[in-house]
Structure 1
Amino acid sequence: MDPTKFPVHFDGKNYDIKRFLRDHPGGVNTLKKYKGKSIEQAMSAYGHSTSAYHMLNDFEVKDVNLTGKVSANGRIITKEESSRNAEEIAMLEELEARLDWSKPIVSQLDAIAPHYEMWVNSAVYRRCRLFQSPILESMTFTPWYLVPVFWIPIIMYLLARNFLEHVACGDSCTDPLNPIQFLGHMVMGVCIWSAVEYSLHRWVFHLDPGSSITMIKLHFLIHGLHHKMPFDGLRQVFPPIPALILAGILYIPFWMWIPYPEVKFVGGLMGYLTYDMIHYYVHHGSPRDGSYLYVMKRYHSNHHFVNHDKAFGITSKVWDLVFQTYVKVKKLGFSLQW
């Protein structure tokens, strides 16, 4: 069998899921035995979401011998089964047919506005163009490594400056701290960021845009595109310049009301950098069973493909437990591999 392809069959149609193997939330090892076989019973047995059936069409191969191209348009309508909502999948097909994915998507969102929430939470395995302007479009792509390259020097500078000002300042100190106190303020900053991370994700990124076309477009640009195209690695991390602006805004209450604001802010920036790197890794990394990142990868996959209104924590489940949005992920009798 051709090693460059991974053919499977479903509902009388043929698919090549080779490029999806490492992104499959259930791991590569759970798919291996289905190469060249039907996946219909497996999808039903393992409780796949409507979004999974919806995404499957991105891998359809029209050629019976699996040598044709993957279809870029259209949606499948599957036969009625207890494990699938055929009417909902048909509705998603109709919504996708309203859009031309070869053209900028943002300007077309009014076509699906009445059903935006349903559409945006039904993932596809493709990339899209957001804007007509090449310059504006290029600003929407951010390779993951630009985030640490941008933020680490800033963090190191602020850390060194504040350490010299508050700890290693000798008799010239105006607001002295011992090393333990200095570290305590930084840890407090990390904790504050943890609460901010949850709050932004739940109450800003998942804010219901209603029927306003402007709010729908804004929501799609901020977070909606990530749910629609969760495997687009170039739009997975927060672009540095918008992040810098947001950091400046969030620093204002630190500066006005909190003692040693810059020290705590350094801790907050460390927390943010950790969050952005973990978020990228749980989407594209290969953590091993038993590790913390393995647990968080499965937890975040649940948020994307099952419970869109729960499991908001990326680096921690603490605030999900506090605000009762925690999701218990099903235990497996085997390890997933990506």
Structure 2
Amino acid sequence: MTRLKMLIHHNSIPVMLCAVAIGVGLLLWHGPVWAWGFVLLGIPAQMLNEYGLHRYIFHLDPPRQQWAFNLLYQAHYGHHDFPTNTRLFFAPIWVSVPMLVLNFALVWGVLSLIVPAYALPIAAAIVLVGGVSTFLGYEWFHMTAHLNVRKTRVERHVTTLHNQHHFRDFSKWFHVSPGGEIIDRTMGTAINRDSLRNQQRIEFIRTLGMRPDDPRLIKARHHYADKYRLSANEIERAARA
């Protein structure tokens, strides 16, 4: 119940739950029965979206401009910097909602050219129901991976792989959703057991290769100190890590 409460209280989750409800409503109101089958297509589509966003956007090389650095810090760098801060577990609403709108508009637009009569229900099935439900699952498993709680076998497996991303090599294991490791293996961003035995922990792992006292990091920590309740001691320790 604690995890569920933590999840629901993040500001983007109610929006995403509403998106799923709207998608179900559109399918019931305007969709043929066979359109429900496209919900399954939304699962791998969102997993690819999760991987691409995490690898190619959230792990961009640190920008020189402080404003751009701050955006990436709030989106993801800060989560690596303070991996146990619960307020940094979830995707910011300014990332998740625009991505939802963009994905829906793109899928709907393409389908409108191919099957205009069924574009809306199919897009609702793929993006609003299948995709957003998968995103909610991602948020659950990601949150769970960072909490010291009793876990299911699947949750333990996800935690093991995700810990390698955080504390062994941040250029590997970009997936979080169960089954997403297929994408990492296909894309060459997995760590196999033999490699893991010899894999050294990357220097400055929690700051994605940057020195912990990098001026951009220091400014970002202070900028978000109140929002994420970072104490002066936490900020000081992070700069010395």
Fold shared by both chains (TM-score > 0.5): yes
Identity of counterpart residues, as a percentage? 19
In the alignment, the residues of structure 1 paired with residue 125 and residue 69 of structure 2 have an alpha-carbon distance, to the nearest angstrom, of: 37
Q: Compare the two structures and name the one with the higher helix fraction.
A: 2
CA shift digits 1:183-208 (9 cap, x unpaired): 32011012111100000000000011
Residues 151, 215 of structure 1: alpha-carbon distance in 2 compared, 3 angstrom cutoff: closer
Residues 252, 153 of structure 1: alpha-carbon distance in 2 compared, 3 angstrom cutoff: closer
In the alignment, the residues of structure 1 paired with residue 52 and residue 132 of structure 2 have an alpha-carbon distance, to the nearest angstrom, of: 16
CA shift digits 1:138-195 (9 cap, x unpaired): xxxx9422354442233123212222211xxxxxxxxxx33xx333201101211110
CA drift at 1:262 = 1.7
The answer to whether residue 134 in structure 2 is matched with residue 282 in structure 1 is: no
Residues 225, 313 of structure 1: alpha-carbon distance in 2 compared, 3 angstrom cutoff: same
Q: Is the 8 A contact 2:75 2:95 kept in 1?
A: no
Specify which of 36, 51, 75 is matched with residue 183 of structure 1: 36
Alignment-derived partner of residue 51 in structure 2? 198
Residues 323, 238 of structure 1: alpha-carbon distance in 2 compared, 3 angstrom cutoff: same
The answer to whether residue 126 in structure 2 is matched with residue 273 in structure 1 is: no
Q: Is the 8 A contact 2:75 2:92 kept in 1?
A: no
Aligned residues: 177
Question: Where in structure 2 are the equivalents of 1:1-338 lying within 5 Å?
Answer: 143-147=6-10, 148-166=13-31, 177-178=32-33, 181-240=34-93, 242-258=95-111, 259=119, 260-265=122-127, 266-288=129-151, 291-315=153-177, 316-328=180-192
Q: Is the 8 A contact 1:144 1:234 kept in 2?
A: no
In the alignment, the residues of structure 1 paired with residue 50 and residue 125 of structure 2 have an alpha-carbon distance, to the nearest angstrom, of: 19
CA drift at 1:263 = 1.7
Alignment gaps of 5+ in structure 1 = 1-141, 167-176, 332-338
TM-score, with length taken from structure 1: 0.48
Q: Is the 8 A contact 1:158 1:262 kept in 2?
A: yes
Corresponding letter in the other structure for 2:164: N
In the alignment, the residues of structure 2 paired with residue 327 and residue 236 of structure 1 have an alpha-carbon distance, to the nearest angstrom, of: 23
Alignment gaps of 5+ in structure 2 = 112-118, 198-241
> Which entry has the higher C-alpha Rg, 1 or 2?
1
Residues 292, 143 of structure 1: alpha-carbon distance in 2 compared, 3 angstrom cutoff: closer
In the alignment, the residues of structure 1 paired with residue 73 and residue 151 of structure 2 have an alpha-carbon distance, to the nearest angstrom, of: 32
- The CA RMSD measured in Å over matched residues stands at 2.3
Q: Whose RCO is larger (CA < 8 A, sep 6+)?
A: 2
CA drift at 1:309 = 0.6
Residues 143, 274 of structure 1: alpha-carbon distance in 2 compared, 3 angstrom cutoff: same
CA shift digits 1:107-138 (9 cap, x unpaired): xxxxxxxxxxxxxxxxxxxxxxxxxxxxxxxx
